[in-house]
Structures are given as C-alpha cells and as structure tokens.
Amino acid sequence: MARLAQTAGLTDVQQEILSTVRDFVDKEIIPVATELEHRDEYPQAIVDGLKELGLFGLMIPEEYGGLGESLLTYALCVEEIARGWMSVSGIINTHFIVAYMLKQHGTQEQKDHFLPRMAAGDIRGAFSMSEPGLGSDVSAITSKAVKDGDEYVLNGQKMWLTNGGTSSLVAVLVRSDEGHPEGTAPHKSMTTFLVEKEPGFGEVRPGLTIPGKIDKMGYKGVDTTELIMDGLRVPADRVLGGVTGRGFYQMMDGVEVGRVNVAARGCGVAQRAFELGVQYAQQRHTFGKAIAQHQAIQFKLAEMATKVEAAHAMMVNAARKKDSGERNDLEAGMAKYLASEYCKEVVEDAFRIHGGYGFSKEYEIERLYREAPMLLIGEGTAEIQKMIIGRRLLEEYRFQG
Ligand SMILES: Cc1cc2nc3c(=O)[nH]c(=O)nc-3n(C[C@H](O)[C@H](O)[C@H](O)COP(=O)(O)OP(=O)(O)OC[C@H]3O[C@@H](n4cnc5c(N)ncnc54)[C@H](O)[C@@H]3O)c2cc1C
C-alpha cells in the first residue's frame, strides 16, 4: 500500500526484518500509542516486544549475541517505529548509541562485559553530555572526574538524559584533567565513563541521584531526567577504551550515527502525518466535495509527499555512507537537518488539513504536532547542523586561487 519511502537494493534479510517490524508497529504500537502518550506511561509491553524481536541487539555483532546488522537496517527500523510512536524510537536510540560506542571504542573486557547483555536488552543504555548550562557547546562541560587510587571521583550535574531512569548503564562525558596539563584544548581533556546503576529514581547508587522525570510537552512515555553526581566513585576500568582524554571524540562518533537515527525518526513521523492527512482529506467534505478534491489541499499533499520522499532518500544515503566505512558527518548533518525541518512542516500541513479536529486530543495528529519539535533540537539543533555542514563544505571546496 505504501508507495512512498521505498528503499532499493535491500537484501532478503533486511526486507524480512523490516516487514516484521512494520507488522509489529501496525498491530502493537499504533493502536495504543496515543492513549499511552496522553497518560505519559512507559510502554513496557512494547519494550518487551522489541526485546523479543531482538531489536536492542540489532547492530551489536553476532559474536556478542546481536544480529550484526548495518546502520541502514537499523535506521529503516527506527523509521518504521517512529511512524508508530516517536517515543519508542527514543527508547532504543540512546541504547544503540552506547552499544555503538562500546563496539567502536570499548576495551575487550568492556565489550565482553556489556554487549551480550545489551544485545538481550537486559542492560539498557543512556548517554549524557548535556548539562543545565550547556547543550550545543559540549566543550564547556563542567562536570569533573578526579583520580583517587584505582578509582575516579565524579562530581557535577547533567541534564536531559533520555532513558535516564530506565537505563542501567550511562555513558557520561566529564572533564578529567589528569594527564592533561592546563592549557590543553577542552575537547582533549574529556573522558567518557561507563556508569552502571540501578534503574529507577532517587539515589540509584552511592553518589548518583536521578531526581525524577522532566515534564515535557511531547515525547512522553520515555523518561527524560537530570543526573546528579556527588562524590560518585567509578573504577578506572570503566573509562571507555581505558584511556582518558578521548571522550569528546568517542561521543561525537556516537552522535554522528545518532543523527542518522534522528533523521530516520523525522522520516517516520512525517510518513505517519502524511498517511493521516491523505486519509482525512478523502473523508472530510466541504462545498459539496471531499477536501482532497480542492486543488489547494492536493497541492499540500503533493508537497508533503515530496518532502517525505526527499528526507527518506537523504537519510538512506547518510546511513549507506557510514556503512561503507566512509566519514559521513556531512551527509548525516544534512539528513538530520532536512528530515527534522521537513517533518515539522509535513506535520503542520497534516494538522491544517484536519481543520479544528487536529486540535482535539482524539486525533493522532495532535500528538505528532507536539512530538515533531523535539527532532529540531535533539542530537544538535538546526544551527549546529548548519555549522557542521558549512565547515565541512569549506574543507571540501577550498579556494585554490
Ligand atoms: C527531550 C530531550 C531529550 C534529550 N536527550 C538528551 C540525551 O539523551 N543526552 C544528552 O546529552 N542531551 C540530550 N538532550 C539535550 C539536547 O542535546 C540539547 O538540548 C541540544 O543540544 C541543545 O542544547 P541547549 O538546549 O543547551 O540549547 P543551547 O545550546 O543553549 O542553544 C540555544 C539556541 O541557540 C542556538 N545556538 C547555540 N549555539 C549557537 C551558535 N554557535 N551559532 C548559532 N546558534 C547557536 C541553538 O541552535 C538554539 O537555537 C535532550 C534534549 C531534549 C529536549
């Protein structure tokens, strides 16, 4: 039925995975998403279903019990899931970034310790860079780790942790001056710590508090929290990769694949908005005909569908580039920027097509309207994407004259 957002050249295995996920989304997510979202309820049954499908281990190598799939397969699954409910894609996104960082940068002991249980969904990951005073400007991080024997003592406050409460492993980026003399560039004195904790709220480990859920306008169901470190002691072997001072690069690598994921979410939400708009436009009649027969509405549908197609193509291109082993910061930045902006526009057009009913909580588009703005901010705002894109273009097209 869906003609839009097709992907050429998929293997049989990829097609089978996607069709299973789409089926799951249609049967288990879409029918309950809006109700759960209005109650801000964690979708436990859906998460259990995703676990059973093996989605928490989709990109984790087979030797660690995962499915060893590509970033493209993962992004296409995320697109399907976000089409059902964006919050569910948020539940797997931070997990996926942490697993990816472990796979790319972890010591052998860290991989052996975490990845098999992450693949099974028994350990779930969150990642934490932002603080109350900073989000875009990661180099301004103030949280600190100080070495004390075989341990580090961490102090500081973190902000906006997606899955902060439900996760049991948080990759936390802090400043660690040890071995990095004064005057070292800020990004060279940052370290990622793998912090294990109990899921839940309050003091979840001595020196580590997750105060509670932040009340958000959308993206409900999934928990977003602060994290307070007050004399938190972390063993030295929980420094990601075993060496301090590499945290900034490790996190940026994780965020780069996270950006493809956010682009995929934008594609999924925009697709759902288009589906809702095109269906409603054929049911609602004004001036003696279905509103879909008014040219102004047809033009809206045409613009929406074109944006859905374009965003999907850019997202697929960015994922394939990373899968080929090439640097994809330019493509991921462009895909994230375009897909999130188009998503907001397509959702707004679908909202307008619904007339007054779009404003009613009984209609799914109301939820999408509150969800789309999150994609403009998460994994770097539009301005930050444009900075990355602009810098990279100037590198590529250096004036030779
Ligand atoms: C629901 C939600 C979930 C999140 N989950 C996580 C998470 O799991 N982990 C995590 O670490 N973070 C998370 N974040 C934080 C998110 O990454 C930041 O909110 C985002 O990076 C923007 O940072 P900020 O909010 O501090 O805005 P600021 O950096 O203060 O930016 C404010 C405005 O200024 C603009 N701006 C900033 N610098 C420049 C510049 N140099 N040039 C031009 N314009 C500029 C920005 O684009 C923006 O419009 C989450 C945020 C939300 C809302």
What is the tens place of the pLDDT at every residue in 114-137?
A: 999 999 999 999 999 999 999 999
CA atoms within 13 A on the CB side of 178: 17
Residue 304 has pLDDT above 90, yes or no: yes
pLDDT in tens, 239-264: 999 999 999 999 999 988 889 999 99
Residue 291 Cα to ligand 1 middle (Å) = 39
Determine the atom of ligand 1 nearest the C-alpha atom of 214: 1
Catalytic center residues:
379
pLDDT in tens, 21-65: 999 999 999 999 999 999 999 999 999 999 999 999 999 999 999
Which CATH architecture fits 249-396? Up-down Bundle (1.20)
Spell out the residues 6+ positions from residue 98 whose beta carbon is closer than 8 angstroms to its own: 118, 125, 126, 127, 169, 170, 171, 254
Strand partners, 270: none
Residue 127 Cα to ligand 1 middle (Å) = 14
Q: Which of 250, 255, 377 has most ligand 1 atoms within 8 Å of its beta carbon, as the pocket-test mutant?
A: 377
pLDDT at 256: 86
Residue 1 has pLDDT above 60, yes or no: no
Q: What is the per-residue DSSP string for 264-293? A: HHHHHHHHHHHHHHHHHHHH-EETTEEGGG
Spell out the residues 6+ positions from residue 203 whose beta carbon is closer than 8 angstroms to its own: 209
Residue 87 Cα to ligand 1 middle (Å) = 18
Domain 12-119 shares a fold with domain 249-396: no
12-119: what fold? Butyryl-Coa Dehydrogenase, subunit A; domain 1 (1.10.540)
125-245, which class in CATH? mainly beta
* Domain residue extents for the chain: 12-119, 125-245, 249-396
pLDDT at 401: 79
Residue 160 Cα to ligand 1 middle (Å) = 9
Residue 191 has pLDDT above 60, yes or no: yes
Percent over 90 (pLDDT), the chain: 93
Tokens linked to 32: 């309950």
Percent over 70 (pLDDT), the chain: 99
Determine the atom of ligand 1 nearest the C-alpha atom of 383: 47
pLDDT at 121: 94
Determine the atom of ligand 1 nearest the C-alpha atom of 380: 21
Q: Is 18 helix (H, G, I), strand (E, B) or coil?
A: helix
pLDDT at 180: 66
Residue 378's nearest CA partner among 90, 71, 82 is: 90
Q: Confidence class of residue 154 from pLDDT cuts 50, 70 and 90?
A: very high
Output the residue whose Cα is nearest ligand 1's atom 7.
Answer: 161
pLDDT in tens, 227-242: 999 999 999 999 999 9
